[in-house]
Amino acid sequence: MRPPPCRVRRPAASPAWHRPTRSYGYCAVALLCWGAGHRELLRHRAGRVTWTGSPTERLSVQRDGEAAVERAAALLGAGFLVAFPTETVYGLGALGLHVAAVQRIFAAKERPASDPLILHVGTVEEVEGLVTRVPDRARLLMATYWPGPLSLVLRRAARVPDCVTAGLDSVAVRMPAHPTALSLLRRVGAPVAAPSANLFSHTSPTTAEHVLADLDGRIEAVLDDGPTPLGVESTVLDLRGDEPVLLRPGGVSHAHLEHILGCTVCGPALVPDSAGFRSPGLLTRHYSPRTPLWLFAGQDAATLARMSRTAAGALGSVGLLLCTEDLPEFTDLNARCFDLGPRAHPEQIAHRLYDGLRTLDGAGVTAILARLVPRGGLGDAINDRLVRAAAGEIQS
Ligand code: TXA
Ligand code: MG
């Protein structure tokens, strides 16, 4: 059941860094809303912007160019929630140093407060104000990969709110490579907290349609700039200890990180659901469709034959989320197929993975069958998402 439309007041207290621009922010939002014919959406009343519970506004970059980004920045700057594209997946943005705005992310996503958020920055300099120290390794990685799909976990500065870090002594920071995300962040001029823009534990969004399928009516706007190029989330790397620890495989590969750092990088491991997480977001069940996902591991023909028998024996029709070469094995079946692309092209598979999960999830099938891809590079990130989407269960 959908929750009642949210009524959002702009938070009463602003941190010191935000105060000088506050009244400009209100005026900008009010004027932009007026100009865009959205008077019913926001009412500018006695210094307050009130959300009236309308459906989420869709701002199209392809149609309106920088004007769409400008409006998204004005809404974010006024404390509202705006989903935006990054090179990995769509993020759900809010002012990252503004407690009330950040808390609304958790409410909209139904995300537990124990799962910390990544702060997105538009310049490297912003990181200095968010952490106690920028280690040399972090500087090297920022120079190599930023803007790009690498989130760095560093020791947090006191000004980063507890709700962003889930009370941890660390904070994750990242500069996304998507030109629209960068333009948005630079316009906002402050760190933006942004988890993936999906309901908690559900499949991540790679299009504005995916965002709206989960969050329509719960957030003020989505900045639509088409499908995200990479398709899986950033690599999360913990740089606090003597040895770097890979917390989540993603767009930057383990091997490449070791090559650049010239040292061993620990992990990643599929952490069981128990206390004492190094990264609270590493749950066994995550990225999951609502339809059961039956995941197979073997790369051989026997595994494919077993999958075919399982599909044939299933009640009702099944969904097949497979690489191009695997699909001919299933032509005789009453199955809905989603072609992820050739096995040798993990970048295509990553790009299509979440769309495939969501498409088959909406196709009314009894189960989705998938199998792991070859390991290494982006393959590790794809397999990590598949394993978590299947709640850690591999069919034997
Ligand atoms: O590509 C991405 O990283 C996307 C886009 C929007 O930037 N964001 C994203 O955020 O995937 P989210 O919240 O869905 O995943 C962030 C992951 C979670 O597993 C979280 O637990 C972990 O990063 N994380 C965040 N802050 C952390 C911290 N201080 N220490 C350890 N893990 C942290
Ligand atoms: Mg997520």
Closest CA to 93 of 203, 232, 223, 208: 223
State the Cα–Cα distance between residues 264 and 224, nearest whole angstrom: 39
Structure tokens at 181: 């995300």
> Is 346:373 a contact under the CB 8 Å cutoff?
yes
Cα(7) to centroid(ligand 2), Å: 24
pLDDT of residue 126: 98
pLDDT tens per residue, range 182-197: 999 999 999 999 999 9
Structure tokens at 304: 């494919």
pLDDT of residue 281: 56
Cα(9) to centroid(ligand 1), Å: 27
Sequence-distant (≥ 6) Cβ neighbours of residue 364 within 8 angstroms = none
Residue 118, H or E segment: strand 118-120
CB 280 near ligand 1, within 6 Å: yes
Total length of the chain: 396
State the Cα–Cα distance between residues 14 and 23, nearest whole angstrom: 12
- Partners of 59 in the beta sheet? 223
Cα(152) to centroid(ligand 1), Å: 10
Looking at per-residue confidence, does 314 or 16 come out higher?
A: 314
Structure tokens at 338: 């989603």
User: Measuring from atom 29 of ligand 1, which residue has the nearest CA?
Assistant: 171
- From residue 279, give the alpha-carbon distance in Å to each of 113, 247, 248: 13, 7, 9
> Is 303:296 a contact under the CB 8 Å cutoff?
yes
Q: Report, as an integer, the average pLDDT of 283-302.
A: 88
CB 171 near ligand 1, within 6 Å: yes
pLDDT of residue 53: 60
Q: Report, as an integer, the average pLDDT of 86-113.
A: 98
pLDDT tens per residue, range 210-253: 999 999 999 999 999 999 999 999 999 999 999 999 999 999 99
CB 235 near ligand 1, within 6 Å: no
pLDDT of residue 95: 98
User: Which residue in this structure is represented by tokens 């962003």?
Assistant: 164
CB 116 near ligand 1, within 6 Å: yes
Whether 269 shows a pLDDT value over 90: the answer reads no
pLDDT of residue 37: 31
State the Cα–Cα distance between residues 307 and 301, nearest whole angstrom: 10
State the Cα–Cα distance between residues 98 and 79, nearest whole angstrom: 8
Measure the CA dihedral 351/353/355/361, to 10°. 180
Whether 201 shows a pLDDT value over 60: the answer reads yes
Which atom of ligand 1 lies closest to the CA of 115? 21
State the Cα–Cα distance between residues 49 and 8, nearest whole angstrom: 8
pLDDT of residue 283: 61
Q: Matching CATH topology for 16-224 and 293-389? A: no
Q: What is the fold, at CATH topology level, of the domain defined by 16-224? A: DHBP synthase (3.90.870)
pLDDT of residue 290: 94
pLDDT of residue 296: 97
Rg of the chain over Cα atoms, rounded to whole angstroms, equals 21
Cα(339) to centroid(ligand 2), Å: 24
Whether 112 shows a pLDDT value over 60: the answer reads yes
Nearest ligand to the C-alpha atom of residue 202:
2
User: Which residue in this structure is represented by tokens 């120079």?
Assistant: 143
Residue 309, H or E segment: helix 301-313
pLDDT of residue 372: 96
State the Cα–Cα distance between residues 174 and 128, nearest whole angstrom: 13
Average pLDDT, the chain: 86
Half-sphere exposure of 361 (CA within 13 A, CB side): 20
Q: Report, as an integer, the average pLDDT of 157-173.
A: 97
pTM for this entry: 0.86
* Band of residue 285 on the pLDDT scale cut at 50, 70, 90: confident
Whether 74 shows a pLDDT value over 60: the answer reads yes
Report the amino acid identity of residue 20: P
State the Cα–Cα distance between residues 45 and 275, nearest whole angstrom: 46
pLDDT tens per residue, range 335-385: 999 999 999 999 999 999 999 999 999 999 999 999 999 999 999 999 999
Report the amino acid identity of residue 61: V
Which atom of ligand 1 lies closest to the CA of 172? 26
Write the DSSP assignment of 51-71 as a string of letters. E--PPPEEEEHHHHTHHHHHH
User: Measuring from atom 7 of ligand 1, which residue has the nearest CA?
Assistant: 91
Report the amino acid identity of residue 329: E
pLDDT of residue 280: 54
Per-chain residues with Cβ under 5 A from ion ligand 2: 196
Whether 29 shows a pLDDT value over 60: the answer reads no
Report the amino acid identity of residue 377: G
pLDDT of residue 44: 31
Task: Give the residue extent of every domain in the chain.
Answer: 16-224, 293-389
In 10 A of CB 3, how many CB atoms?
10
State the Cα–Cα distance between residues 362 and 365, nearest whole angstrom: 8
Q: Report, as an integer, the average pLDDT of 119-135.
A: 98
Sheet holding 368-371, edge to edge: 293-296, 368-371, 318-322, 335-339
Whether 331 shows a pLDDT value over 70: the answer reads yes
Whether 140 shows a pLDDT value over 70: the answer reads yes
Which atom of ligand 1 lies closest to the CA of 171? 29
What CATH architecture does domain 293-389 belong to? 3-Layer(aba) Sandwich (3.40)
State the Cα–Cα distance between residues 291 and 390, nearest whole angstrom: 10
Residue 337, H or E segment: strand 335-339
In 10 A of CB 229, how many CB atoms?
17
Which atom of ligand 1 lies closest to the CA of 198? 14
Least confident residue range of 35-49, 135-149, 381-395: 35-49
Q: Report, as an integer, the average pLDDT of 173-180.
A: 98
CB 115 near ligand 1, within 6 Å: yes
Nearest ligand to the C-alpha atom of residue 89:
1
Sequence-distant (≥ 6) Cβ neighbours of residue 89 within 8 angstroms = 196, 197, 204, 205, 206, 228, 230, 231, 232, 233, 354
CB 109 near ligand 1, within 6 Å: no
